A and B are shown apart, each in its own frame.
Chain A
């Protein structure tokens, strides 16, 4: 299977322009023969929305943007980032990811872990999602996560237990921290997490981060793909827009899982009971 990571710089608050950008990059990925294209977090809106959040929200059931993206997905599975607000849930804005395939909307994930503190203030503007639920994509079972979701240990655990073979992570991660090495300190942190979690979950980790500058923040790029053995298969440049295209062999998941039984031997009921006891004792 051929995977394309669209490391783009969306324009802040401008959905029509960003939709045009998606159209262009989907066309480019299709030309490369890609089966899957992944866009970054909030790719249809830009990241630093603040009070614009409600102005750019889309209802998947009604939005013409969704209709068009579904149509474009007939021969290429497409993952985008957007702000969700359903007509029957007004005022609940979610930082969400949508997966389209075979001409229709397959799955929506709402960001569960909203970083709030330091330079982040997502909880001030977004409602939090409540679930990590792997879903059946044309290529296999996939788990969607948005940026900080991936850095919270429990999220990938739930994807593993739910049977995900491919972890799709979309991100708008600003670069922070300088040292003598090339790139931001945070980019190395993301790669370390990609390496560790692909190994822990014996899954592919496909991570698409954005580039560009918003309000002085530089989004770091450096999108990557790790194999279920924790090997870095490919990595996009820091800071530069670009389409990263890489062929991956999904049979590697089965091969690795025959050898490493993390998934087979996992006992979620033990975790569940232990968690219940922990939570109860916290409340006492």
Chain B
């Protein structure tokens, strides 16, 4: 699971530069939450494109995340990237005033999609490409909002587990208060990923690495020392979230169909 962070940095900065350049973009844009993943992505983008070509959008809701906003601002300043703050409170409150709910998850998903909508709007205005910040742990567990924080043009971090991103963050010299912060999806104040998932990232990543990278069976992972209940939970989450990792199925009726046998590379003509 341990990585050579200097080499990973090389691969990912080339990926960012290559994908943007081919698509005819010079600028990258991403949401800055004040957390670890967006900080690592911003630092990689700054190294790949030059700090002046990276725009970090800080999009807080309400007043419950002041520390995160402050951390995001400090990070942007430390990296020398551009930043802009857009408060999403008015538009989220306007919606829920008409369609109230007590569900924190529904409210959190709506916020994630408001941020996505703003990111896409600003990216078009700025002629910038959206860099995703979802990691491998989140992608495999489906721990993200579809068409919300999972939406992006390219994803540099999607093949690195959370614990590997911590290693990368240390190599990139990111501030300690961001590296040591307890990961949170920020759906509501005080939420933590590990609290909500009921497992630590060390456990989650250990189980996922064995199941996915090493292709171990459920039984092998349990006999390697992980709790059966934890392994079952991880397997159930992977299966239940496959739809978040795929384009929606197209009903095939013709001879050649998008998503079935109309097969072109993503980088076609770039």
- A65 CA to B10 CA, complexed, in Å: 35
Contacts of B264 in A (CB 8 A): 50-52
Contact of A183 with B by CB under 8 A:
yes
Contact of A33 with B by CB under 8 A: no
Give residues of chain B (229-269) contacting chain A, Cβ–Cβ below 8 Å. 262-269
Partner pick for A50 among B10, B15, B263, B270, CB 8 A cutoff:
B263
B7: Cβ under 8 A from any A Cβ: yes
Q: What is the distance, in angstroms, from B194's C-beta to the closest C-beta of chain A?
A: 24
**Chain B neighbourhood of A181, CB < 8 A:** 4
Q: How far is the CB of A38 from chain B (nearest CB, A)?
A: 23
Residue in A closest to B18 when the chains form the complex, CB atoms? A213
Indicate whether A175 reaches chain B with its CB closer than 8 angstroms: yes
Inter-subunit contact B266/A215 (CB<8 Å): yes
Q: A218 and B265: CB pair below 8 A?
A: no
What residues of chain B lie closer than 8 Å to A180, measured between beta carbons?
Answer: 2-4
How far is B262's CA from A178's CA once the two chains are assembled, in angstroms? 33
**Structural contact, B265 and A49, CB atoms closer than 8 A:** yes
Interface flag for A59 (CB, 8 Å): no
Q: B4 near A12 (CB under 8 angstroms)?
A: no
Q: Which of A1-55 contact B (CB under 8 A)?
A: 11-14, 48-52
Which residues in B have their C-beta under 8 angstroms from that of A179? 2-4
Is A69 an interface residue when CB atoms closer than 8 A count as contact? Answer: no
List, in ascending order, chain A residues with CB within 8 A of B268's CB: 12-13, 52
A198, chain B: closest CB distance, angstroms:
26
When the two chains form their complex, are residues A182 and B265 in contact, meaning their CB atoms are under 8 A apart?
A: no
Query: Is the CB–CB distance between A213 and B265 below 8 Å?
Result: no
| B14 contacts A by Cβ under 8 Å | yes
Query: Measured between C-beta atoms, what is the minimum distance from B129 to chain A in Å?
Result: 14
Q: What residue of chain B has the Cβ atom nearest to residue A211's Cβ? A: B14
Complex formed: what's the CA distance from A51 to B260 in Å?
12
Q: Is A239 touching B2 in the complex (CB atoms < 8 A)?
A: no
**Distance in angstroms between the alpha carbons of A180 and B5 in the assembled complex:** 8
* Chain A interface, DSSP helix/strand/loop, else mixed: loop
Number of interface residues of A (CB under 8 A): 24
B71 within 8 A of A: no
Task: Please indicate the chain B residues that have their CB under 8 angstroms from the CB of A239 in the complex.
Answer: 10-11, 14
Judged by a CB distance under 8 angstroms, whether B193 is at the interface is: no
The verdict on B138 contacting chain A, using a C-beta distance below 8 Å, is no
Distance between Cα atoms of A275 and B254 in the complex (Å): 46
A12 and B265 contact, CB distance less than 8 A:
yes
Check if B265 sits within 8 Å of A214, measured CB to CB: yes
Inter-chain contact B6/A182, CB cutoff 8 Å: yes
- Across-interface contacts of B267 in A (CB, < 8 A): 12, 48, 213-215
B265 touches A48 (CB 8 A): yes
Contacts of B164 in A (CB 8 A): 178
8 Å CB contacts to A: which residues of B1-27?
2-4, 6-8, 10-11, 14-15, 18-19
Chain B CB within 8 A of A216 CB: yes
* Cross-chain contact B19 with A182 (CB below 8 angstroms): no
Q: How far is the CB of A52 from chain B (nearest CB, A)?
A: 7
Q: Determine whether the beta carbon of A213 is less than 8 Å from that of B14.
A: yes
Contact with B along A168-211 (1 / 0, CB 8 A): 00000001001111110000000000000000000000000000
Complex Cα distance, B6 from A178, in Å, reads: 11
Q: Is the CB of A216 within 8 A of B15?
A: yes
In the complex, A81 has a CB within 8 A of chain B:
no
Kindly list chain A residues whose C-beta atoms are within 8 Å of the C-beta of B8: 178
A213 to B2, CA, bound (A): 24
A212 within 8 A of B: yes
Q: Which residues of B are found within 8 Å of A214, using beta-carbon distances? A: 265, 267
Interface residues of B in 71-105 (CB under 8 A from A): none
- Contact yes or no, A51 B262, CB < 8 A: yes
Q: How far is the CA of A179 from the CA of B269 in the complex (A)?
A: 33
Proximity string of chain A (145-181) to chain B, C-beta cutoff 8 Å, 1 when within and 0 when not: 0000000000000000000000000000001001111
C-alpha gap A95/B65 in the complex (Å): 55
Knowing A12-B268, A51-B263, say if A213 contacts B3 (CB, 8 Å): no
Which B residues are in CB contact (< 8 Å) with A11?
Answer: 270
Bound: A242/B264 CA distance, A = 29
* A12 CB contact (under 8 Å) in B15, B19, B263, B269: B269
Q: A residues within 8 A CB of B266?
A: 215-216
Q: In the complex, what residues of A have CB within 8 A of residue B263's CB?
A: 50-51
Q: How many angstroms from the CA of A257 to the CA of B74 in the assembled complex?
A: 66
B4 touching A178, Cβ below 8 Å: yes
Please judge, given known A-B contacts A180-B2, A182-B7, A183-B7, whether A218 and B14 are in contact too, CB under 8 Å: yes
Residue in chain A with minimal CB distance to B12:
A218
Most chain B CB within a 10 A radius of its CB, from A178, A179, A180: A178
Measured between C-beta atoms, what is the minimum distance from A215 to chain B in Å?
A: 4
Of the A-B pairs whose beta carbons lie under 8 Å apart in the complex, a sample of 11, sorted by A's number, is A11-B270, A48-B265, A49-B265, A50-B264, A52-B265, A178-B7, A178-B164, A182-B7, A213-B14, A214-B265, A218-B15
Which 4 A-B pairs give the minimum distances between C-beta atoms? A213-B18, A50-B263, A48-B265, A215-B266
